[in-house]
Amino acid sequence: MPAGFNIYNDNDWLAAGNAVEVNTVTSVTQRPRYIIEYVGRVGPPPNDYSGKKPDTRQYGFRITAIGWGEGAAPNARYLLQSSYRMPL
């Protein structure tokens, strides 16, 4: 996340370069946005500290997204956060 980014502050989400805008959603006043953060390797560290064996732990990511309300709920905010891990 950008330094000082507050996920509860609309201005931080809307500032240029802070989050990715979802361009495929076109029927809303304010398009949703998301951020993907790398959070490090997931799992216990390898037992082999000699460096001869590869680190087989998966890579962890945190995905945070926001959507803004429309119609009868224009002040609503929908915030979703999830984790994902994968081998690379």
- Give residue 48's pLDDT: 74
Number of domains forming the structure of the chain: 1
Model-level pTM? 0.82
**Is 36 part of a structural domain of the chain?**
yes
CB contact set of 58 (below 8 Å; sequence gap of 6+):
41, 42, 43, 85, 86, 87
Our measurement of the distance from residue 35's CA atom to the centroid of its chain's CA atoms, rounded to an integer in Å, reads 3
- Give residue 9's pLDDT: 92
pLDDT at 81 over 90: yes
**Is 2 part of a structural domain of the chain?**
no
Residue range 20-38: average pLDDT? 93
Residue range 42-49: average pLDDT? 80
Angle at 61 between CA 55 and CA 62, to 5 degrees: 155
What is the longest distance spanned by two Cα atoms in the chain? 61
pLDDT at 31 over 80: yes
Residue range 24-32: average pLDDT? 91
Query: What is the residue range of 38's domain?
Result: 10-86
Burial class (CB in 10 A: 0-12, 13-18, 19+), 48: exposed
